[in-house]
Amino acid sequence: MSITTDTRPKTGPFIGAMTLIGFGMGGFVDAIVLHMLLQWHQMISNVLPPDTLLRKSVNMFWDGVFCAMTWTLTGIGIVLLWRQAGAARLPRSGKLFWGSLLLGWGVFNVLDSLVDHYLFGFHNVRENVPDKAAWNLGFLLLALTQIVTGWLVVQAGRKAVV
């Protein structure tokens, strides 16, 4: 009877941690770029249009709750990644790293689309445009493209690591 030792790096925990970080970072990009810099929408701007100072303040509060959530998820992903740093064979692959980040960002965007834009109608990608539905659909298609691209890059990274 022979004992075999599997020395291949375990990619699953690394991919999981990086995907969670990508999810949180995707939320940060959404909040910083779409909510704050471009001011296309806020967390509940379709439900409560920010057309008065009070309504703008309520929207800003929910944007803050959203940012706290994405910060927490990013932090959990960092802790999971840190735990992997002690692993005997942490996979060192740019494809796994970037692919997982893109995959997580895409998952965030799909959930944002399905939950916030379609299911509950909290906000649209752009509130002050004639065709809000086209912007929502375009955002969803971009998110699906991120997921597919991220997944393909992760799979290429897995093959390179093994």
Residue 32 lies in a domain: yes
93-116 tens-digit pLDDT: 899 999 999 999 999 999 999 999
Predicted model pTM: 0.89
Residue 64 lies in a domain: yes
Backbone angles phi, psi at 130, to 5 degrees: -65, -35
Residue 6 lies in a domain: no
Residue 114 lies in a domain: yes
Find the domain containing 32 and state its range.
Answer: 11-161
Residue 82 lies in a domain: yes
Residue 5 lies in a domain: no
**How many domains would you assign to the chain?**
1
56-97 tens-digit pLDDT: 999 999 999 999 999 999 999 999 999 887 766 777 789 999
Residue 1 lies in a domain: no
Residue 146 lies in a domain: yes
Residues whose CB is less than 8 angstroms from the CB of residue 81 and which lie 6 or more positions away in sequence, other chains included: 14, 17, 18, 21
